[in-house]
Structure 1
């Protein structure tokens, strides 16, 4: 069960851009990236040559940012390193029947729409869950929890390799932490993903031990350790 179709998770960005997110992709040859303000993730083939890196550089433009996510390939030496972050990829081993038993979303969970984007961006600025842009919501469904009308927690769907959906942007406003909002939202997303006969997965920074502990309590297991890297084109 743990390894069913898991090979798609070895290249989650590339698989998403070639498949479910093809309508949000820009592409030259085998190099691909998302359209602006959706995501900065980029993808190349498993063994890219100089021409493929040149194609990606053309897509991004001079000084463009290439978030290579968990891609192990290293670009040419004239690409400027921006960050290196150790992390892990986690998947949910439970079968979909079990997940469907939890399909009732927690009380107070609402679906977020285009008109909610300003509040979502404000929450991200305060909670800092990771990259989130004005059009990131277009990657999938996003759920939130409000307190007296104010958005205090959210989580959503990001990468979509075949058979899988990534849970991302799990965050809670500082003043609303400790109330179980993150667990409620992740459970609701797990149920939604399982209802499509897909499997949930996610990524976490290795240093974020609190988040990893939460995901483990919610039934996620580490599939592999990864290194996230970002670069700027020449």
Structure 2
């Protein structure tokens, strides 16, 4: 039987995030201005063709797969990203000094988008903040670091949009925010997980330090539906 984390986007869209999903039983995607991810029950040519047929013109999607996928000709493959999927295996609740951590809301979205554009942790749209629990650290009134939640294939909750402004690297901001994220997830009796490029050595080292372990390899495909 397939583990939900083998196909985290699809199982998020059929469980914890079913209320913000569009599509059919086996082919789903998030409401367009929330995020650009699609989840397929299996990454078959048939389901990719169905996604093409039911999605708006010029849609751009990201979908995940544990194994290489042949992209049908009607889609334009923009890129693929080799990743690790991490799951939290820590034995204790993090002890967090929450001083300086701010809950982010709609008034912060412009700054959040700017930070994401600068650091490239993954797509972040106007209403991505609706996926909840985004927190940040401000320095001199400017957003220096942030993280939040993304996929929710219940009972697993993904930590995402982990980024720090280049001017503030090495100050422990990411570690502090991630501890807070882990704590919030555990307090809801959920299990934290995340994804990271497999060549991001600094982030990989940080996640191990926080109590995460590599669960599996994962590939992110970025595809576009052209007019």
Length-normalised TM-score, structure 1: 0.89
**Contact 2:13/2:29 (8 A) holds in 1:** yes
Residues 12-31 of structure 1: matches in 2 within 5 Å? 12-31=8-27
The corresponding residue for 1:66 is: 61
1:55 aligns with 2:47: no
CA distance in 1, matches of 2:153, 2:41: 15
Length-normalised TM-score, structure 2: 0.91
Q: What is the CA RMSD across the aligned residues, in angstroms?
A: 2.0
User: How far apart are residue 114 of structure 1 and its match?
Assistant: 1.1
1:116 aligns with 2:108: yes
The corresponding residue for 1:140 is: 132
The corresponding residue for 1:76 is: 72
The corresponding residue for 1:91 is: 87
CA distance in 2, matches of 1:88, 1:214: 13
5+ residue gaps in structure 2?
A: none
Aligned partner of 1:171 among 151, 163, 187? 163
Q: Deviations over 1:144-179 (max 9, x none)?
A: 001122211100011111111111111111111111
5+ residue gaps in structure 1?
A: none
CA distance in 2, matches of 1:13, 1:111: 25
Q: Deviations over 1:24-51 (max 9, x none)?
A: 111134211111121111111226452x
1:107 aligns with 2:99: yes
CA distance in 2, matches of 1:149, 1:78: 46
C-alpha spacing 1:47/1:175, structure 2 compared with 1 (3 Å): closer
Q: Deviations over 1:66-116 (max 9, x none)?
A: 211236454423322111111100011124xx11x52x4432011101111
Runs of 4+ aligned residues of structure 1 deviating over 6 Å after TM superposition are none
The corresponding residue for 1:41 is: 37
**Contact 1:69/1:230 (8 A) holds in 2:** no
CA distance in 2, matches of 1:74, 1:32: 19
**Contact 1:82/1:231 (8 A) holds in 2:** yes
C-alpha spacing 1:112/1:165, structure 2 compared with 1 (3 Å): same
C-alpha spacing 1:129/1:49, structure 2 compared with 1 (3 Å): closer
